[in-house]
């Protein structure tokens, strides 16, 4: 499942180009073309789901995105023969993280072979997710702008080459990474988890609930225990 959040759509629609997201990712038109290509080629692949931002679900409602005119994304997808209604909703794992309800997900992951691809700080997640068998660190939020940056990350995953659950936290590069890996490593799952793991290691505050946790150590500690071990019974 590959997620297309606000930043990806800005790239695809060639809006606010050159600006940076809260994570420091530069919006880039060329990368937007790669993202659109993935959408077009994968739209009829039943096991390749695209996640759509919450503010675009359903597509007939107001988008709530500054600078994105209502109907613009519908028009773009319609012109490519793509139906947004068939996509999974984004923010699923992020919603669970905010409500400290990740325990069932993490519990299941701990029974499987996990490959984590993301910010090099996320290697600390091995302390929380014991099933991580292989980690691919990404040193730059702008992997999509580096010559062969995405391809190099993909090559490192292919070098490991074992099936498993691939958790991709690579911002606007995630969908392209998943696309390149999807057919290369069979019997695997590829999930764009966004930056939900950031909260476990204390990096990034682009979510209000995350900033609150960092400012309240006791709440942060309780949040981590609930997500990892399950909520204590009342």
45-81 tens-digit pLDDT: 767 777 765 555 444 444 444 455 556 666 677 777 7
Question: Looking up tokens 């613009």, which residue turns up?
Answer: 72
Mean pLDDT of all residues in 150-156 = 97
Q: What is the pLDDT of residue 87?
A: 58
How far, in Å, are 16, 96, 127, 148 from residue 145 at the CA level?
16, 31, 31, 8
Edge-to-edge strand ranges of the sheet holding 189-192: 132-138, 114-119, 165-169, 189-192
Mean pLDDT of all residues in 71-100 = 70
Question: Looking up tokens 């490519």, which residue turns up?
Answer: 80
**Least-confidence region, from 88-97, 104-113, 121-130, 181-190:** 88-97
Q: What is the pLDDT of residue 62?
A: 44
Entry pTM: 0.86
* Ordered domains of the chain (ranges, CATH): 2-88 (no CATH), 92-229 (3.40.50)
Contact 4, 53 (CB under 8 A): yes
Percent of the chain with pLDDT over 70: 81
Contact 88, 51 (CB under 8 A): yes
- Nearest-Å Rg of the Cα atoms of the chain is 18
Mean pLDDT of all residues in 113-123 = 95
Contact 175, 1 (CB under 8 A): no
111 vs 53: CA distance, rounded Å:
29
Q: Is the dihedral of CA 28, 148, 119, 97 positive or negative?
A: positive
């Amino acid at each position: 499942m590959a997620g297309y959040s606000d930043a990806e759509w800005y790239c695809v629609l060639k809006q606010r180009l050159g600006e940076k997201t809260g994570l420091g990712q530069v919006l880039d038109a060329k990368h937007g073309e790669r993202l659109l290509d993935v959408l077009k080629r994968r739209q009829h692949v039943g096991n390749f789901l695209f996640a759509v931002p919450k503010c675009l679900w359903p597509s007939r409602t107001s988008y709530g995105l500054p600078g994105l005119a209502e109907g613009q994304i519908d028009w773009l997808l319609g012109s490519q023969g793509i139906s947004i209604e068939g996509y999974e909703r984004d923010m699923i794992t992020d919603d669970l993280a905010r409500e400290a309800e990740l325990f069932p997900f993490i519990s299941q992951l701990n029974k499987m072979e996990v490959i984590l691809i993301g910010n090099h700080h996320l290697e600390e997640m091995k302390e929380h997710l014991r099933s991580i068998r292989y980690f691919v660190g990404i040193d730059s939020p702008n992997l999509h702008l580096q010559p062969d940056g995405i391809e190099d990350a993909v090559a490192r995953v292919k070098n490991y080459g074992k099936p498993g659950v691939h958790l991709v936290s690579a911002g606007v590069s995630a969908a392209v990474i998943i696309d390149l890996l999807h057919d290369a490593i069979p019997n695997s799952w590829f999930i764009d988890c966004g930056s939900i793991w950031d909260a476990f290691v204390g990096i990034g505050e682009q979510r209000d609930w995350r900033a609150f946790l960092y400012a309240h150590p006791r709440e942060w500690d309780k949040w981590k225990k609930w997500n990892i071990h399950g909520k204590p019974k009342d």
